[in-house]
A and B are shown apart, each in its own frame.
Chain A
Amino acid sequence: MYRYDEFDHKLVADRVNQFRGQVERRVSGALSEDQFKPLRLMNGVYLQLHAYMLRVAIPYGTLRSEQMRMLAHIARKYDRGYGHFTTRQNIQYNWPALDEIPDLLDELACVEMHAIQTSGNCIRNVTSDQYAGAIEGEAEDPRIVSEIIRQWSTFHPEFTYLPRKFKIAVTAHKNDRAAIKLHDIGIVVKQNDAGEIGYEVHVGGGQGRTPFVAKKMTDFVPKAKLLAYLEAVMRVYNMLGRRDNSYKARIKILVHETGEEEMRRMVEEEFAKIDASEMLTVPQEEIDRISAYFAPPAFETLPADSQAFSQAQADDADFARFVRANVVAHKQDGYAIVNISLKPIGGVPGDATDAQMDVIADLAERFSHDEVRVTHEQNLVLPHVKLDDVKTVYDALAAHELATANLGLISDQIACPGLDYCNLANARSIPLAQEISERFSDLDRQYDIGELKIKISGCINACGHHHVGHIGILGVDKKGTEFYQISLGGAADENAAIGQITGRAFTEEDIVDAIETVVTTYTDLRADGERFIDTYNRVGMAPFKERLYD
């Protein structure tokens, strides 16, 4: 994992002091709330329905155990004993006091963490694949370029007051777990025929009220040229992105209104100008320095199979279920990737208590080479666990309600905070997610249904990713009553697609039944081995519509 050098440390400390000054100027009245707003936002501080909310950055979703312990400590000391992991691999605290936030940030800085650019109209915290460095088949560890992008985009003087927020995601695997095509910029690390590493760049994806899948701008940018290319995209956007209407200000609208071809032409033209100076060509020594931090941990040479692991599954049906749903093959023989679901039946998606975070930190330290990952689906991962240790890890997780065996299943839902916390929401999301998970709580039924991604947003801003849920649910407000609209066929992976709305919305009383109708329609129609999304793509909307409305 990347470690700060003196420069990184100093800059984060500077930022904390700067923010302390900004808070003081706000408290003294020197700054109006309007003037303070973009400054606090740039540092992850939102004013929510009940209180200030702080979003802490977890760059590309990677944490060391001491960092996870600090997140637990902050939940205890400054919040109400829990934190909420978000769809951008960050963590949010819902109850910090504004005047305590500078001290909180000081504590975070001690473990090389911060809240820089987790909100505001700037380049946000870069996200990546939670299996980085652990899964077979990556062109390169995507965190190397993610860290370079993190540094380049931090306090970028030209791109701090963009028309709107700007999100970058990176993957290096054919299976996209970072939803890169739904980001302002999505990057695929790949190898060309000559064996050189470079980047495929997608631009203009996004959700919100006008969802778009990103357009591929270029097939291959050589490694040394990536920042020049990104700066070209950013400059075109900063100069031509709309500022008259915040709903039309994202780069996806610019790409849509300009057209893919013209956008590509403008980016190429800008790229040629910027690249001519070679000012943004990162020195090889620096790339090597950063790459070294992401070298594989010291894996032991082990057999591919573990007798203890197999035996434990035979002896314990619950453990076998956990392995089936939550454990993924590792690239290194004798190791496994262990997913920790933060979606217990009836729980709040993405929430973890301070005690749970401490347990996970301890497990990471003892069994996973000190690493934890956060996923955009609001779960956690222990990326490097020996097969021999999986049962021990499972037992510890189970003792803290962290062993729900539902990864990728119907109860593993994404939900935004909704009307319970958010001042934008029209409807509640969390209680609905809880009801759905209780309706489908039977694990055997969940396995029978198979991979099915339900995503719930409490308003059109789509923080719960409803557009790209296999089943998406959108809360809408009609004359003061909460209704829920269903969409089908969305996907956030390498086959990214925007879901189609089924028809009129359902009441709070009817929505869970409607979801059940969609699910049984699928199980009635599916061919052998078909997942929900496969069946939907084969049969289309009509049969679902018929069962829902006739």
Chain B
Amino acid sequence: MTDYHLVIDGATAEESWIYLDDDAALSDAPSIISLTRLKDQAYALAERSAPLGVILRADGLGKTDLGEDVRELAPFIDRLALIAIHFPAYRNGRGYSAARVLREEFNFTGQLRATGDVLYDQWAMMNRCGINAFELAADIDLATFQTALGELSGAYQPAADQNRGALWARGK
């Protein structure tokens, strides 16, 4: 039972993943583990057949609070089915860059999920940066989510989605 409403690719979805604490044993269930564990147990994890996910944490990592470096995921990309990006506060937009690096530089095609302080006015921006799964507050319905995504009809610039942006699309 989750306390959020999960939306994947614009539709309500059942949660099929579990977030696993570093000291909890791995099971056969699709599991989301920490970057630390991913790096520490890379060999053991490679032998596991169940889908593997990782969470990129944004805080709790010391004084300057930079968050984990998305590029540390590079060696593991092919083995990951899900990457969750943690937004500790809606004002902290570091995760938008992480999302674009994953989609555009690493060509990550699995589920890219926003977790944490994921609010109405950020969904469309996250979506453009390649995030396709959203952990929404439980009382938010799908229609509200879709309204938010459609508030701006276009974009000027390309990002990780299909929209090339007006600067490129005009005259084409």
Contacts and interface: CB of A to CB of B under 8 A. Distances in A.
Given A22-B121, A157-B129, A277-B104, A14 B155 contact: no
B170 A161 contact: no
Given A38-B90, A238-B94, A11 B153 contact: yes
B40 interface: no
Interface in A210-261: 227, 235, 238-240, 242-244
A162 B156 CA distance: 19
A300 to B, nearest CB: 33
B166 A151 contact: yes
A158 B91 contact: no
Contacts of B73: none
A152 B94 contact: no
Contacts of A10: 153-154
A346 to B, nearest CB: 42
B13 interface: no
B167 A161 contact: no
Given A22-B121, A238-B93, A238-B97, A286 B167 contact: yes
Interface on chain B toward A: helix, strand, loop, or mixed SS?
loop
B170 A286 contact: yes
B92 A18 contact: no
A38 B91 contact: yes
Contacts of B65: 242-244
Given A10-B154, A243-B65, A157 B171 contact: no
Interface in A5-42: 5, 7-8, 10-11, 14-15, 17-18, 21-22, 35, 38-39
A239 B97 contact: yes
A285 interface: yes
A240 B71 CA distance: 13
Contact of A158 (B92, B96, B172): B96
B47 interface: no
A17 B147 CA distance: 12
B97 A158 contact: yes
Interface of A: 5, 7-8, 10-11, 14-15, 17-18, 21-22, 35, 38-39, 121, 148, 151-162, 227, 235, 238-240, 242-244, 273, 277, 279-280, 282-283, 285-286, 289
Interface of B: 63-66, 69-70, 90-94, 96-98, 100, 104-105, 119, 121-122, 124-126, 128-129, 151-159, 166-168, 170-172
Given A5-B170, A10-B153, A235-B100, 4 more contacts: A14-B154, A22-B121, A158-B100, A244-B64
Top 5 nearest A-B pairs by Cβ distance? A161-B93, A157-B128, A157-B125, A151-B156, A244-B65
